Amino acid sequence: MGLFDKIRNEFIDIIEWTDNSNDTIVWKFPRYQNEIKMNAKLTVRESQEAIFLNEGTIADVFKPGMYNLTTQNMPIMTTLKGWKYGFNSPFKADVFYVNTKQFTNQKWGTKNPIMLRDAEFGPIRLRAFGSYAFRVIDSAKFLKEVVGTNQEFTTDEINEQLRNLAVTRGMDAVAESKIPVLDLASNYDEVSKLITDKIRPEFNELGLDLTKFLIENISLPPEVEAALDKRSSMGIIGNLGAYTQFQAANAMEDAAKNPSGGMMGAGMGAGMGFGMMNQMGNAFQNQQFNAQSGMNTPPPPPPVVQFFVAVNGQQTGPFNIQQLQAMATSGQFNKQSLVWKQGMSGWLAAETQPELIAMFGAVPPPIV
CATH of the domain at 211: 3.30.479.30
Residue 296 domain-assigned?
no
Same domain, 315 and 203: no
Burial of 113 (0-12, 13-18, 19+ CB in 10 A): middle
Same domain, 108 and 216: yes
List Cβ neighbours of 304 (8 Å cut-off, separation of 6 or more).
320
Same domain, 114 and 217: yes
Q: Which of 99, 134, 162 is the last residue of a domain?
A: 99
List Cβ neighbours of 187 (8 Å cut-off, separation of 6 or more).
179
List Cβ neighbours of 79 (8 Å cut-off, separation of 6 or more).
none
Q: DSSP 3-state assignment of 224?
A: helix
pLDDT, residue 7, reads: 45
**124 membership: H or E segment, kind and range:** strand 122-136
Same domain, 157 and 216: yes
Q: Tell me the C-alpha distance between 253 and 273, whole Å.
A: 8
Same domain, 74 and 125: no
pLDDT, residue 211, reads: 93
- Domain count across the chain: 4
Q: Which of 200, 223, 246 is the last residue of a domain?
A: 223
DSSP H helix total and E strand total for the chain: 10, 16
CATH number at residue 328: 3.30.1490.40
Residues 242 and 284: beta-carbon distance below 8 Å? no
Q: Count CB-CB contacts under 10 A for residue 2.
A: 7
Same domain, 81 and 63: yes
Same domain, 7 and 73: yes
Residues 356 and 324: beta-carbon distance below 8 Å? yes
Residue 300 domain-assigned?
no
Q: Tell me the C-alpha distance between 76 and 112, whole Å.
A: 49
Residues 329 and 363: beta-carbon distance below 8 Å? yes
The alpha-helical segments, DSSP class H, found in 205-331 are: 222-237, 240-256, 262-293, 321-329
Same domain, 211 and 128: yes
Q: Tell me the C-alpha distance between 15 and 30, whole Å.
A: 10
pLDDT, residue 75, reads: 87
pLDDT, residue 49, reads: 96
**DSSP state, residue 141:** H
Residue 292 domain-assigned?
no
Residues 174 and 184: beta-carbon distance below 8 Å? yes
pLDDT, residue 246, reads: 65
Domain span at residue 264? 238-286
Residue 51 domain-assigned?
yes
Same domain, 170 and 279: no
**What's the first-to-final CA gap in the chain, in angstroms?**
157
Phi, psi of 268, deg, nearest 5: -65, -40
pLDDT, residue 255, reads: 67
Residues 19 and 68: beta-carbon distance below 8 Å? no
pLDDT, residue 136, reads: 96
Same domain, 310 and 281: no
Residue 230 domain-assigned?
no
pLDDT, residue 166, reads: 85
Residue 45 domain-assigned?
yes
Same domain, 282 and 334: no
| pLDDT tens digits along 202-225 | 999 999 999 999 988 888 777 777
pLDDT, residue 3, reads: 44
Cross-strand pairs, 213: 132
Spell out, as residue ranges, where the chain has pLDDT lower than 70: 1-11, 32-34, 84-86, 228, 231-247, 252-253, 255-299, 302, 361-368
Which of 12, 42, 7, 47 has the alpha carbon at shortest distance from 30?
Answer: 12
Same domain, 112 and 84: no
Residues 174 and 185: beta-carbon distance below 8 Å? no
Residue 95 domain-assigned?
yes
Round the CA-based radius of gyration of the chain to a whole number and report it.
46
Q: Which of 99, 128, 163 is the last residue of a domain?
A: 99
Residue 366 domain-assigned?
no
pLDDT, residue 293, reads: 53
Amino acid at 318: P
| pLDDT tens digits along 136-194 | 999 999 999 999 878 899 999 999 889 888 888 888 888 777 888 778 878 888 888 88
